[in-house]
Amino acid sequence: MSEPAPAQSLPDAPALLRASDLSKRFRPQDPPVLQGMSLAVGRDDTYAVVGPSGCGKSTLLYLLCGLLRPDSGRVTYRGTPVRRPHPEIAVVLQDYGLLPWKTVLDNVALGLKIRGVSRRERTRRAREILVALGLGGTEDRYPPQLSGGEQQRVAIARALVGKPGLLLLDEPFSSLDAITRERLQHHLLDIWTRFRVPYVLVTHSVDEAVFLARRVLVMAGRPATFVQVLENKGFGDPTYRDREAFHAMARTVRRALDRAVGAP
């Protein structure tokens, strides 16, 4: 069910996004936050990155999307270096980043507007994705008038409306209550099933990682590396949580995390 693989033994298959040998240090007097990290994300991949607080998960995600530059190593998307945010790489951050003074529809369509898509076309696409995410009818409301879960779905709609090639998510559900969180995890799995947008998800939740990722990357150490890559064969089944295999996989991930932090 789960096969521990040696760290850094990530697939060599044709990758959409490839990070090679990344190192990053914020201050010269500090050790690097991460060093020698490599990752290949293919068209069908879903990754979850788990690891102790402060180990560098968000830093890795920011490097992957071009919001941060590595000190050494490189990130390529479809073979081209990523040096700044890339229009095909959509990012969903923890605080949603919605503009409170714009309607839901305008928030979702903003990226298309910046790209010069006509008003008619961006309205059509924004409405379509809002309906697909169960947000039909909210178009004319403002983000503060929505619940946390609805705002998070608007942020995901905004990320998806531009038909990204890759989705990067940094603890996107962490501030939500348990029921909303589970519902949105199902939404993300559903989105993956329907649109096959590969993603890399940073999460503190082992259950979330197991439900949402084909491979779970355990990140630890200073400088951090992937200390374990866990294959999650049950991924993709919406009823996975009800099966013993899910709980066994969650136990495997927890044990790997314990080992990573040297817990007894």
Site of interaction with ligand ATP (CB under 6 A): 26, 33, 51, 53-59
Dist CA 125 CA 147 (whole Å): 23
Instruction: Pick between residue 150 and residue 170 the one whose CB is nearest to ligand ATP.
Output: 170
Q: What is the number of helices (H) and of strands (E) in the chain?
A: 7, 11
Minimum CB distance to ligand ATP, residue 58 (Å): 3
User: Which pair of structure tokens corresponds to residue 200?
Assistant: 């890399």
Instruction: Pick between residue 33 and residue 65 the one whose CB is nearest to ligand ATP.
Output: 33
Instruction: Pick between residue 58 and residue 185 the one whose CB is nearest to ligand ATP.
Output: 58
Radius of gyration of the chain (CA): 18
User: Which pair of structure tokens corresponds to residue 79?
Assistant: 């073979």
Minimum CB distance to ligand ATP, residue 174 (Å): 9
Dist CA 16 CA 166 (whole Å): 8
Instruction: Pick between residue 30 and residue 242 the one whose CB is nearest to ligand ATP.
Output: 30
Eight-state DSSP code of residue 32: P
Dist CA 149 CA 175 (whole Å): 9
Minimum CB distance to ligand ATP, residue 156 (Å): 20
Instruction: Pick between residue 28 and residue 116 the one whose CB is nearest to ligand ATP.
Output: 28
Minimum CB distance to ligand ATP, residue 43 (Å): 26
Phi-psi category of residue 97: left, alpha or beta, with phi > 0 → left and psi -120 to 50 → alpha: left
Dist CA 127 CA 114 (whole Å): 17
Eight-state DSSP code of residue 83: -
Dist CA 94 CA 171 (whole Å): 6
Q: What angle do CA 242, 247, 248 make, to 5 degrees?
A: 135
Minimum CB distance to ligand ATP, residue 54 (Å): 4
Instruction: Pick between residue 42 and residue 221 the one whose CB is nearest to ligand ATP.
Output: 221
Minimum CB distance to ligand ATP, residue 170 (Å): 8
The three-state secondary structure class of 206 is helix
Minimum CB distance to ligand ATP, residue 113 (Å): 30
Instruction: Pick between residue 53 and residue 239 the one whose CB is nearest to ligand ATP.
Output: 53
